[in-house]
Amino acid sequence: MDIRPIHTEADYDRALERVDELMELDPELGTVESDELEILALLVEKYEEQHWAISEPDPIEAIKVRMEQMHLKQKDLVPYIGNKSKVSEVLNRKVGLSLSMIYNLAQGLHIPLEVLVQPSQKTAV
């Protein structure tokens, strides 16, 4: 077992090749091969997190995507945000989401709180 940190794309590719080889072997738990597979998988995961992390979506974009998925119009957000004017202001990034709006949207549209509590990435002009 010759395991090294993954610093480059070439290291990453070699680690993935070895993971594939070990997966083909389907080693039993507790064997040298299964330990190697587990360690390599952790190294690969760490490398991927550092180099290709997927950030949480912008809260307003997440709301718009959910509206599209659920075939909702702006007026359908009134129960979660407030009056039609407030919905328009939020969607056009003129005002931010309040805690009550965040809670209501999370409950009503099933958008994770972690997404909604982030600052909006774009600001209105």
| CATH number for position 102 | 1.10.260.40
Residue 20, in any domain of the structure: yes
**Count of the separate structural domains present in the chain:** 2
Residue 122, in any domain of the structure: no
Let me know whether 78 and 112 are in one domain: yes
Instruction: Read off the pTM.
Output: 0.56
- For 19, the domain range is 9-52
Let me know whether 28 and 64 are in one domain: no
Residue 40 neighbours by CB under 8 Å, 6+ apart = 3, 15, 18, 19, 22
| Structure confidence by residue, pLDDT tens digits, 13-38 | 999 999 999 999 999 999 999 999 99
| Structure confidence by residue, pLDDT tens digits, 41-98 | 999 999 998 998 777 789 999 999 999 999 999 999 999 999 999 999 999 999 999 9
Let me know whether 46 and 95 are in one domain: no
Of residues 88 and 121, the one with the higher pLDDT is 88
Residue 124, in any domain of the structure: no
Number of helices (H), then strands (E), belonging to the chain: the values are 7, 0
